[in-house]
Amino acid sequence: MFASGTKLLASDECYIPVEKLKIGDCLLSVLSGHAVEITDILSRSVPLPRTSASPQPGANLSSLSPVIVPAGFLDGQRPFEDVVVSPGQVVCTVQNSTGYNRLVENTAKASFGQNPELSEGLHSVEYFALFFEDQYYLSAIGLVVRGYDSRVLTETGDWLRGPEETEPTSVSGFS
């Protein structure tokens, strides 16, 4: 999920803050270069613990706190500015392998970036999940991220459950 303020690449090649997107808007798929239509948007306000020393009862800090992917984290250039996502959001790196590029999926974790001032003075963070007719890869200020396939809404019934740790996977054929 993307935190409020995260900018995604629209089909007109302009970056738009996630909270300004609506159903029917089109974003650019980084794999195909085609416009992909948003079929659903779900948002959730997640309360943040006041301090790590005194978390809310039952709070799992790693599942609540936003993950910041710092500007230049991947290759010294991308993302172009800090990107804030929920823990568990799939972010991708591009690896060149024998003449073609492939995406390697990773799960966003606190180890990607720390910014203690990010939640200072905030009591909650607003997350947005974007759904499409299929699974697509998008650009969040130069960071390749995965959008949700709308079928997950009917198959799981619980798209907001806590992040699951997964091993990196790869998607071949990215050019």
Least confident of 69-73, 92-96, 147-151, 155-159: 155-159
Residue 101 pLDDT: 67
Specify whether the CB–CB gap between 96 and 50 falls below 8 A: no
Q: Is the pLDDT of residue 138 over 50?
A: yes
More confident residue, 162 or 154: 154
Q: Is the pTM for the entire model greater than 0.85?
A: no
Q: Which residues contact 151 (CB under 8 A, 6 or more apart)?
A: none
What would the two tokens of residue 144 be? 């390749």
pLDDT band at 140 (very low <50, low <70, confident <90, very high): very high
Amino acid sitting at position 102: R
H/E element, 42: strand 40-47
Specify whether the CB–CB gap between 88 and 163 falls below 8 A: yes
Q: Is the pLDDT of residue 62 over 80?
A: no
Residue 68 pLDDT: 84
